[in-house]
Structure 1
Amino acid sequence: MTKNERLFISPLPRYAYWLFLLGILISILLGLLFYRQVSAMVQHQAEAELKRLSASTSDQFQVYLQQTEYGMNQAATEQYIQTAIEKRDAEVLNQLLYGWQQNRNHAELWAILDKDARIISTLRGSSDNHNPLSLNGLALRAMASANPIVSTEIINKEELARVGRNVSDRLENHHLLKQEGVLTQLVIVPVLGKNGQVLGALCGGLVLNDNQELLRSLFGNSQAMHAVYQDKQCIAYFTNDNKVSFPEQISPAMTKSCILDGQACLGQMQSDGDTYVTVSRYIFNAQNQVIGYQVLALPQSQYSQLPAWVANISLLTGFLLAIFSIIVIGNTSRIRQLFDRERQRGQESYYLGMFAQKLQECTDENEVYLLLKKYLSRDLDVIQMEFNIISADDNCMESIRFTENDQVSRVYLNQSKCKPVLTGRINIYNDDRDLHCNQIDTDLIKSHVCIPFLAGGKVAGVVGLGSPQEQYWTPGRIEYLDAYLNLIGPTVTNIRLLKLLQAKAFEDQLTGLKNRHFLDQYLLEQLAIAERYKTTLSLLMADIDRFKLVNDNFGHDAGDLVLKEVAAVIRAAVRESDLVARYGGEEFVLVLPNTSTDEAVSLAERCRQAVNSLQVIHNDYSRIISVTISIGVASYPRDGNSLEALYKLADSALYLAKNQGRNQVRTAQEYLATLQRTGCDD
């Protein structure tokens, strides 16, 4: 370029420089304004997410307590438990509490009270008839209102020592506990009799002080940290990072702004040089007084505003407005992805909570598995689902499959060849070339998983799921399945325990026959069936002849042996449809559905002859005992239309057999004919 050419290039006017600087300033101001708006939006979304996480945390506590309340409500309706409370039978109630403790090992407080709130049974295994158990007056309050109470209370340590095993010893050395009272979540369920009168109450509780294991079990999969404060003193906390700890005292910075309609506070805390965002939810007692806080904390970096260096670069030049926008968009996208993941987890937590509530309504194992199938089928691409269940006595394994209309298909398997049962570990087959189990349809299934679940501390079964997709069972899906299976274990345990206790409550411990309580209920049901379908029913009452001589001559152990042998002989002589029960002492009752008097006499004669041929060997084969029985027969509708009438006539016929020489069978009609001949009144 020549000198002349350069002369034709006019310099920029002075005002252009001012406009340029003004443009830069405006760009910077716009950038800062945009930065503040985006920061406010991010902060608002972060607060909303923290509120949701805080509410979800509280819901997990509630689900745990609701499961406990449901199990206690079911137990409170059981007749044998009501009878045990009325009789203050600590042995039966201690067995019940031991089963509960095995299934819910986080709950350290279990007690059963009478109607005056005095202790009948606790985990300590002894009753206490002296002072009533107050529990801040809630025990008497629950019984007075006849309604369950679920509340969080501060209970003094002296009361906890009466009902909790090793609780006081554990809390004596608790480095965070400085108060006399202990923060406890209580469930109190009144036990009502048939007429609605209060018999007593079932009490359970979770001690929150120094209970890191409870927090770990509830929130071990959460990214957030959790703590519980009694008043303003930290009593328990759980973090995934051992370097991070909560302050011993809740600080004003942690409760600086109220949210959730005054039910919680948003704030910050410092730990190991890092800043954490906190949500502190109030803990209320039954009088609606604030007695503590439930605190959730997340690193501020997870929900931080836009990087600080973006603002500094914006101050340097207006041209960075475009760069600034790109950074904002990039960060907003990542934040949205994070929120999407958290939203998905929130939905999973919601459905998991719904599943836990539905589990409380299940009274049978098949209902549990059908409910699990319904929830898993909604979110997973699964074309085969089977439940391989180990029986309660560990004798066999049953494979349960549900058809399209939820009908049950059952196949019995050899559990000794099932790897998940033997090892207790998950088996994953993500390639159809790895599939070798004969329960898997390899033509349709490309990947399969077998997950064992526990009940009562041991493997109760295996859930198998097959997908048409290869490499389908990722760690995320396995974690999702595990969350559901962790919930069904306690429910299956409770169902099995209740069935076992019901069976024992209706069984005579010496002979193994059904007892009088079961007999009365069964006979009423059979009478109703016979009346409805116009059929016959016969009742046999049998008594061992001269049984007192057996006890006097050979001892009561020989008498017990004779009772067991006679019971076994009678049970072998009758039909499968007949019921044999021990009526009391040396008396037995047989209920014969759809059986006439003549048929009943024939069967009674068979039983009499079988006992007559019985030789009971006692005392190392050195002594042989022979016994006979007398039997009375009464039939419906010929002899009577009610339970009392049949019992009375069968008993009268029995004593007629006794009076006429024993070792014989007599009917109610023969007894009535004898009355007419002698002219005597009944």
Structure 2
Amino acid sequence: MFLDRMMSAVFYFNSLTIIIALLIISEIIYAFITKDRIQTLKRNNERLELHIMDTETEVVLLQTLSDILDAFNEEASLSDVLEKIAESVKNTFKEDTVVLQLIGESFKKCVLGKNVDIPEEILGGLILKPRPVLVNNTSSFSEYKYLAQQGVSSFIMTTLHYQSKITGVLGVFSFDNRVFTLKNLKLLRMVTGPTSLLVENTTLFEKTKVLSITDALTSVYNRRQFETIFDATLRDSKKGKNISVCMADIDYFKCYNDCNGHPAGDYALQKIAEIMKRSVKGSDIVARYGGEEFILLFPDTCKENAVHICETIREHIKAFKFPNEEAQPDGNLTISMGVSTYPEDGETKEELVKQADLAMYKAKELGRNKVLTP
């Protein structure tokens, strides 16, 4: 009887032990599963956050590219386009300085934020070995000490290309110890493609525009552009304001051209145009009217002052030593000029040009190398 009770007690104890052990194991398994689920949830959350960051980056990139492409239109100058591009990048890096700098003959620089001068050594290195650059501690690198001296703590920068040629750089510079990431650099690099194309197209457009309004030989305005400017000047002129016009013709130019050849004649035209441009005010207009004829426009200038400017031009041309000019009939290559003034000599473009032309031919008849008025 006692033995049966002992056996029952042992059985009960063993069963209780097994139950407790099973409960402990269950708790361990549940905790392990729960921890694993939590880790899985964390990993999924991290992936979601990264996906959201990537999506946000793509949205920013697309908006930046859209803004950059909107910068191009037929009326925009290269400076306007550069500023618009810099503004678009600045919208992404609001607290930093954006620098867009072209190099070579098209040199221009646009800075939004604190001024940054990019050292020639850095530019030269990027030209020789084009590469994107990410630096988060400029003071740790001797090659960036000049940037550090300017207060730049970190920066990202990449090059602009056109047909394998380096045309400029685009950089973002921090003065507040910002830690730039590879994502920031990737975004900047993706922006440089359309930026390079846009800058090149605008540059070509400006060159084409200049060619369409200037004389190819002398680089002064052509007749068509002069007449456009003259029309606008007359239209916008305030009542009581004078506008003076000068017609100028090189004396015995056919003789000079025949004796010395067309290259010498072209050189003479170029030098005379250069002398005229150097002698006039910033608001005055010099144009080649045709052949050896030039025409000058003097806004807000009375007849007396216009004649004074033309006399200075005439004297400079006479004093200049043109090749073999001693063979000219007068021993010098000279110019005859006629000046008319609005409104006393006429109120339309045609009247003023005609009066200036008549005065110029009068100067020819009276011995050439003169400035006369109607």
- TM-score grouping bracket, smaller chain normalisation: 0.7 to 0.9
State the 1:462 CA deviation. 4.1
Preserved contact between residue 68 and residue 85 of structure 2 (Cα < 8 Å): yes
State the 1:538 CA deviation. 1.0
Which amino acid counterpart does residue 66 of structure 2 have in structure 1?
A: Q
What does residue 631 of structure 1 align with? 337
In the alignment, the residues of structure 2 paired with residue 429 and residue 557 of structure 1 have an alpha-carbon distance, to the nearest angstrom, of 55
Q: Does 1:475 align with 2:182?
A: yes
What does 1:595-634 align with in structure 2 at a 5 Å threshold?
Answer: 595-617=301-323, 626-634=332-340
Which of the two has greater helix per residue? 2
Q: Give the secondary structure class of the aligned counterpart of 2:195.
A: helix
The verdict on how the C-alpha distance between 1:453 and 1:592 changes in structure 2, with shifts beyond 3 A counting, is: same
What does residue 369 of structure 1 align with? 86
In the alignment, the residues of structure 1 paired with residue 244 and residue 266 of structure 2 have an alpha-carbon distance, to the nearest angstrom, of 28
Q: Does 1:452 align with 2:158?
A: yes
What does residue 15 of structure 2 align with? none
Preserved contact between residue 100 and residue 171 of structure 2 (Cα < 8 Å): yes
State the 1:328 CA deviation. 5.2
Preserved contact between residue 138 and residue 147 of structure 2 (Cα < 8 Å): no
Which amino acid counterpart does residue 97 of structure 2 have in structure 1?
A: M
In the alignment, the residues of structure 1 paired with residue 256 and residue 61 of structure 2 have an alpha-carbon distance, to the nearest angstrom, of 63
What does residue 7 of structure 2 align with? 6
Q: Give the secondary structure class of the aligned counterpart of 1:635.
A: strand
Q: Give the secondary structure class of the aligned counterpart of 1:617.
A: coil
What does residue 676 of structure 1 align with? none
Q: Rg: which structure is higher?
A: 2
TM-score (norm. length: structure 1): 0.45
In the alignment, the residues of structure 2 paired with residue 623 and residue 434 of structure 1 have an alpha-carbon distance, to the nearest angstrom, of 71
What does residue 501 of structure 1 align with? 208
Q: Does 1:465 align with 2:173?
A: yes
Q: Give the secondary structure class of the aligned counterpart of 1:468.
A: coil
State the 1:583 CA deviation. 1.1
Preserved contact between residue 138 and residue 148 of structure 2 (Cα < 8 Å): no
State the 1:421 CA deviation. 5.1
Q: Does 1:400 align with 2:129?
A: no
Gaps of 5+ in 1: 11-316, 404-408, 671-682
In the alignment, the residues of structure 1 paired with residue 156 and residue 51 of structure 2 have an alpha-carbon distance, to the nearest angstrom, of 28
Q: Does 1:654 align with 2:360?
A: yes
**4+ runs deviating over 6 angstroms:** 319-325, 621-625
Q: Deviations over 1:115-174 (max 9, x none)?
A: xxxxxxxxxxxxxxxxxxxxxxxxxxxxxxxxxxxxxxxxxxxxxxxxxxxxxxxxxxxx
Preserved contact between residue 131 and residue 159 of structure 2 (Cα < 8 Å): no
Preserved contact between residue 86 and residue 100 of structure 2 (Cα < 8 Å): no
What does 1:529-568 align with in structure 2 at a 5 Å threshold?
Answer: 529-531=236-238, 534-568=240-274
What does residue 59 of structure 2 align with? 350
Preserved contact between residue 101 and residue 168 of structure 2 (Cα < 8 Å): yes
In the alignment, the residues of structure 1 paired with residue 122 and residue 236 of structure 2 have an alpha-carbon distance, to the nearest angstrom, of 46
Which of the two has greater strand per residue? 1
In the alignment, the residues of structure 2 paired with residue 628 and residue 369 of structure 1 have an alpha-carbon distance, to the nearest angstrom, of 51
State the 1:635 CA deviation. 1.3
Q: Deviations over 1:248-276 (max 9, x none)?
A: xxxxxxxxxxxxxxxxxxxxxxxxxxxxx
In the alignment, the residues of structure 2 paired with residue 402 and residue 385 of structure 1 have an alpha-carbon distance, to the nearest angstrom, of 4
What does 1:222-621 align with in structure 2 at a 5 Å threshold?
Answer: 330-362=39-71, 363=76, 364=80, 365-377=82-94, 382=95, 384-387=96-99, 389-391=101-103, 393=105, 398=109, 400-402=111-113, 415-416=120-121, 418=123, 419-420=125-126, 423-431=129-137, 433-434=139-140, 436-440=144-148, 447-456=153-162, 457-469=165-177, 472-531=179-238, 534-617=240-323
The verdict on how the C-alpha distance between 1:573 and 1:495 changes in structure 2, with shifts beyond 3 A counting, is: same
Preserved contact between residue 89 and residue 98 of structure 2 (Cα < 8 Å): no
In the alignment, the residues of structure 2 paired with residue 321 and residue 413 of structure 1 have an alpha-carbon distance, to the nearest angstrom, of 61
In the alignment, the residues of structure 1 paired with residue 66 and residue 210 of structure 2 have an alpha-carbon distance, to the nearest angstrom, of 27
Q: Deviations over 1:533-587 (max 9, x none)?
A: x432211110112322233333333322222232223333333442211111111
The verdict on how the C-alpha distance between 1:600 and 1:342 changes in structure 2, with shifts beyond 3 A counting, is: same
Q: Give the secondary structure class of the aligned counterpart of 2:269.
A: helix
In the alignment, the residues of structure 2 paired with residue 499 and residue 587 of structure 1 have an alpha-carbon distance, to the nearest angstrom, of 27
Q: Give the secondary structure class of the aligned counterpart of 2:345.
A: coil
State the 1:589 CA deviation. 0.9
In the alignment, the residues of structure 2 paired with residue 413 and residue 322 of structure 1 have an alpha-carbon distance, to the nearest angstrom, of 58
State the 1:323 CA deviation. 6.4
Which amino acid counterpart does residue 187 of structure 2 have in structure 1?
A: Y
Indicate the structure whose relative CO is greater, using CA pairs within 8 Å and at least 6 residues apart.
2
In the alignment, the residues of structure 1 paired with residue 326 and residue 150 of structure 2 have an alpha-carbon distance, to the nearest angstrom, of 65
In the alignment, the residues of structure 1 paired with residue 155 and residue 333 of structure 2 have an alpha-carbon distance, to the nearest angstrom, of 61
The verdict on how the C-alpha distance between 1:458 and 1:644 changes in structure 2, with shifts beyond 3 A counting, is: same
Preserved contact between residue 154 and residue 177 of structure 2 (Cα < 8 Å): no
State the 1:596 CA deviation. 0.5
Preserved contact between residue 69 and residue 194 of structure 2 (Cα < 8 Å): no
Which amino acid counterpart does residue 498 of structure 1 have in structure 2?
A: F
State the 1:336 CA deviation. 3.6
What does 1:94-109 align with in structure 2 at a 5 Å threshold?
Answer: none
Identity %: 24
In the alignment, the residues of structure 2 paired with residue 355 and residue 640 of structure 1 have an alpha-carbon distance, to the nearest angstrom, of 54
In the alignment, the residues of structure 1 paired with residue 83 and residue 104 of structure 2 have an alpha-carbon distance, to the nearest angstrom, of 14
State the 1:502 CA deviation. 1.6
Q: Give the secondary structure class of the aligned counterpart of 1:612.
A: helix
Preserved contact between residue 170 and residue 192 of structure 2 (Cα < 8 Å): no
Q: Deviations over 1:168-188 (max 9, x none)?
A: xxxxxxxxxxxxxxxxxxxxx
Which amino acid counterpart does residue 367 of structure 1 have in structure 2?
A: K
Number of residues of Structure 1 aligned to a counterpart in Structure 2: 343
Preserved contact between residue 539 and residue 646 of structure 1 (Cα < 8 Å): yes
State the 1:332 CA deviation. 4.4
How much is the aligned-residue C-alpha RMSD, in angstroms?
3.5
Gaps of 5+ in 2: 13-25
Preserved contact between residue 538 and residue 633 of structure 1 (Cα < 8 Å): yes
